[in-house]
Amino acid sequence: MITKLVMATNNANKLREAREILAPLGIEILSQREAGANCDPDENGSTFAENALIKARAVYEAVKLPTIADDSGLCVAALDDRPGVYSARYAPDGQHCAKLLEEMKDVPDDKRWASFKCTIAYVDDREATTMSGACIGHIGYEERGTNGFGYDPVFMVGDRTMAELTPEEKNKISHRAVALKGLYEYLSKKQLDEKIYG
């Protein structure tokens, strides 16, 4: 039975989301720092899945505990799905939204569609697998809200930004939440199989 799971991140927001959604499984979720993994692999994959697997495998090798890692990003239709896998490196810290709004300043309402995408990788001593999630929305014209991080303040879901949603609302629709729910189903089945088959 899995009793501990390491998440290949030290991002408090990502950890909180994972802990909330996976809580019913009763698995302790550790950050890589808490698990003693001091690694920062080069995320040189061309897809979210490749990058998630790179991170998960690196941390698993360091701690030898079941490990999950996510890679996610914003894909904007008018920008040919940029920034995509380069979302975290698109601009200096704290300037992502401002740069995106500048790039989108002449894009009309009907061309501002975007999607948040997330792939979560799971790695243990026997297998490696991935599950993905997406959230469709559009890019607003200004930053709004204080609940989110990253591109949340400019990503509109209906008439609110992701950063204006409560954590409970976000956990129902976010790209990471959808992927984590896929992970929840996967781990639930894995726990059940281990109970039955040992």
Residue of 70, 71, 106, 109 marked active site: 71
For range 131-141, the mean pLDDT: 97
pLDDT over 70 at 134, yes or no: yes
Q: DSSP characters for 80-139?
A: TTEEGGGGGGSSSTT-HHHHHHHHTTT--GGG-EEEEEEEEEEE-SS-EEEEEEEEEEEE
Q: Would you call 71 a catalytic residue per the annotation?
A: yes
Structure confidence by residue, pLDDT tens digits, 8-40: 998 888 898 899 899 999 999 999 999 999 888
Residues composing the chain: 198
CATH level 2 (architecture), domain 4-197: Alpha-Beta Complex (3.90)
Per-chain mean pLDDT for the chain? 93
Model confidence band, residue 119 (pLDDT cutoffs 50, 70, 90)? very high
Q: How far apart are CA 140 and CA 159, in angstroms?
A: 9
| pTM score | 0.88
Q: Where are the domains of the chain?
A: 4-197
Helix (H, G, I), strand (E, B) or coil at 47: coil
Residue 192 confidence (pLDDT): 82
Q: Which residues contact 9 (CB under 8 A, 6 or more apart)?
A: 15, 31, 32, 69, 70
Residue 172 confidence (pLDDT): 87
